[in-house]
Amino acid sequence: MEDILSSIDGFKRWLKGRTGSLADAARFLTDRISSIDADVRAFARIDAERIARRASGLEKAGKKGRLYGVPVAIKDNICAKGELTTCASRILEGFRPPYSAAVVEKLSAEGALLIGGANMDEFAFGSSCETSCYGPTRNPWDTSRIPGGSSGGSAAAVASGEVTAALGSDTGGSIRQPAAMCGVVGFKPTYGRVSRYGLIAFASSLDQIGPITRNVADCAAILEVISGYDNRDSTSVNMEVPRYTESLSEETGGLTIGIPGEYFRAGIAEGVRSRIDEAIKVFRDLGARTVDISLPHTKYAVSCYYIIAPAEASSNLARYDGVHYGYRSPGPGGLEELYTASRNAGLGEEAKRRILLGTYSLSSGYYEAYYLKAQKVRTRIADDFREAFKACDCILTPTSPTTAFKIGERVDDPLTMYLSDIFTIPANLAGLPAISVPCGPGENGLPVGLQLMAAPFNEETLIRAASAFERNTEHHKLRPEGL
**Residues known to be catalytic:** 75, 150, 174
Give the list of residues 6+ apart from residue 364 with CB closer than 8 angstroms, or none: none
Q: Report how far residue 136's alpha carbon sits from residue 311's, in angstroms, rounded to the nearest whole number.
A: 26
Burial 389-398 (b: 16+ CB within 10 A, else e): beebbbbbbb
| E strands present in 89-136 | 113-118
Concatenated DSSP letters for 417-451?
HHGGGTTTHHHHHHT--EEEEEEEE-TTS-EEEEE
Q: What angle do helix axes 349-362 and 301-316 make, rounded to 10 degrees?
A: 100
Cis-peptide, bond into residue 150, ω within 30° of zero: yes
Cα gap 26→150, rounded to integer Å: 27
- Best CA proximity match to 5, nearest among 173, 163, 112, 232: 163
Which backbone phi and psi does 132 adopt, to 5 degrees? -65, 145
Please spell the DSSP secondary structure of 359-398, one letter per residue: HHHHSTTTIIIIIIHHHHHHHHHHHHHHHHTTT-SEEEEE
Q: Give the DSSP per-residue string, 61-85.
A: H----TTTT-EEEEETTB--TTS--
The sign of the dihedral angle between the CA atoms of 449, 450, 453, 459 is negative
Q: How far apart are CA 121 and CA 127, in angstroms?
A: 8
Report the chain's C-alpha Rg in angstroms: 21
Instruction: Please report, as a single letter, which amino acid is at residue 247.
Output: S
Phi, psi torsion values for 313, nearest 5 degrees: -65, -40
Q: With contact defined as beta carbons under 8 Å apart, do 163 and 115 qualify?
A: yes
Sign of CA dihedral 323, 329, 332, 338: negative
Q: Are 424 and 177 in contact (CB under 8 A)?
A: yes
